[in-house]
Structure 1
Amino acid sequence: MTPLLIVGAGGFARETAQLVEAVNAVSPTWELLGHLDDDPAKHGALVDGVPVLGGSGEAAGREDARVVVCVGSPRDHAARARVVARLGLPPDRYATLVHPSASVSRTSSIGPGSIVLAQTVLTAAVTVGAHVSVMPHVTLTHDDVVGDFATLAAGVRLAGAVHVETGAYVGSGALVRETRTIGSYALVGMGSVVTRDIPAREVWAGVPARFLRPATVTVPPSLPVES
């Protein structure tokens, strides 16, 4: 089995550990070594039975291990991008994890470092970039494109040919009309209905979704940002 490290020890990281267990139950694939977290108070602790081995910087020294970065929230939806930029690992060091219950069509693709949780559907010619977080019960339909570092929270539904740009966060239960674009590092509130394009780095919410305020995000300068 291939050694694996999960960067982060919060809720998303715990869900990812359970995904790994589900994968291994079908076909032994991953040797989960443990979590890496930058909170020293967590070092040496067990999180759902999985040890926290140290800080994220230790990933570089474990060249035999693959890595996934499981950090970020609506309060700081650029956190994952910053961690990946700081680690500076090559793409082939990152694992791609897909829950056995997810349905991924043969014409769809998922990039390195991305995680697809249970009961997600990718119907036809869906492109998911690198380091994307796809939470449970998400539906991605034909020709959707999800950029690097984006997050699709639980129950998101994208109609056809939607483009979610780099680092955007789409909140739980949001619905997005066909051919719409959600701009880079924008944030869509939970339960929203997106009928218009959303510009980069803005917060929108409601039914239909409307502009609320600029998004406060700290994006690593070394990473590209779509405009």
Structure 2
Amino acid sequence: MIHALSDVQSRSVGARTTVWQFVVILADAVIGKDCNICSHCFIENDVVVGDRVTVKSGVQLWDGVRLEDDVFVGPNATFTNDRMPRSRQHLERFPQTLVRRGASIGGGATILPGLEIGERAMVGAGAVVTRDVPARAIVVGSPARVIGYVDDAVS
């Protein structure tokens, strides 16, 4: 379902994906199946979103962002794609930010460009991620620090 008040230019949106109102998805973005893209999101061209991904309201996915299957991105999480941004100066190629399968990013977290969030990792709400996050790690704070690991028995 693509809401009538969204602007979906991409022809690569998977089956059973829901795109809510006031979402913009540019032409070259690739969105998997069974995703939920909530209202007020923006997805740029060089973005790949896997299957069964949830992107909550207020998230922008800029060029270079890759979300693998089963990723959760909380409301107003921020991805960046240029470590030294300047007005009217654009990179030829943006660094790739990779969020691995099953990872979760809490609301309001900030992810700096070119990082990898490991498989099933959890980024706490409001965390500022300045370096790679290991698989299954739980990170919180600014800058984000590992405080533990996801336990298979609990998750």
Q: TM-score, normalised by structure 1?
A: 0.50
Cα 1:217–1:108 change in 2 (3 A) is farther
What is the distance in 2 between the residues matched to 1:117 and 1:216?
33
What is the distance in 2 between the residues matched to 1:185 and 1:158?
17
- The Cα of 1:199 is off from its aligned counterpart by 0.6
Find out whether 1:202 has 2:125 as its counterpart.
no
Q: Tell me the equivalent position of 1:185.
A: 102
Task: Report the residue type matching 1:173 in the other structure.
Answer: N
Which of the pair has more CA radius of gyration? 1
Aligned counterpart for 2:5 among listed residues 101, 121, 141: 101
- The Cα of 1:109 is off from its aligned counterpart by 1.5
What is the distance in 2 between the residues matched to 1:164 and 1:171?
13
Q: Can you give the 5+ residue segments of structure 1 that lack an aligned partner in the other structure?
A: 1-96, 219-227
What is the distance in 2 between the residues matched to 1:100 and 1:186?
30
Task: Report the residue type matching 2:128 in the other structure.
Answer: P
1:135-166 per-residue CA deviation (whole Å, 9 max, x = no partner) reads 11011111111000010011111111210110
List, as ranges, runs of 4+ consecutive aligned residues in structure 1 with deviation greater than 4 Å.
215-218
Task: Report the residue type matching 1:100 in the other structure.
Answer: A
SS at match of 1:185: coil
What is the distance in 1 between the residues matched to 2:13 and 2:61?
16
What is the distance in 2 between the residues matched to 1:108 and 1:212?
41
Aligned counterpart for 1:113 among listed residues 16, 21, 32: 16
What is the distance in 2 between the residues matched to 1:217 and 1:173?
28
Judge conservation of contact 1:102–1:118 (CA < 8 Å) in 2.
yes
- The Cα of 1:215 is off from its aligned counterpart by 4.4
1:61-112 per-residue CA deviation (whole Å, 9 max, x = no partner) reads xxxxxxxxxxxxxxxxxxxxxxxxxxxxxxxxxxxx000111111x441101
Find out whether 1:135 has 2:38 as its counterpart.
yes
Q: TM-score, normalised by structure 2?
A: 0.71
What is the distance in 2 between the residues matched to 1:212 and 1:156?
25
Judge conservation of contact 2:46–2:62 (CA < 8 Å) in 1.
no
Q: Tell me the equivalent position of 1:6.
A: none
Judge conservation of contact 1:185–1:217 (CA < 8 Å) in 2.
no
What is the distance in 1 between the residues matched to 2:62 and 2:74?
15
Cα 1:203–1:119 change in 2 (3 A) is same
What's the % identity of the aligned pairs?
Answer: 24
SS at match of 1:181: strand
What is the distance in 2 between the residues matched to 1:193 and 1:134?
19
What is the distance in 2 between the residues matched to 1:216 and 1:137?
33
Q: Can you give the 5+ residue segments of structure 2 that lack an aligned partner in the other structure?
A: 82-95, 130-143
Q: Tell me the equivalent position of 1:122.
A: 25
Task: Report the residue type matching 1:180 in the other structure.
Answer: T
What is the distance in 2 between the residues matched to 1:184 and 1:198?
9
Which structure is higher in helix share? 1
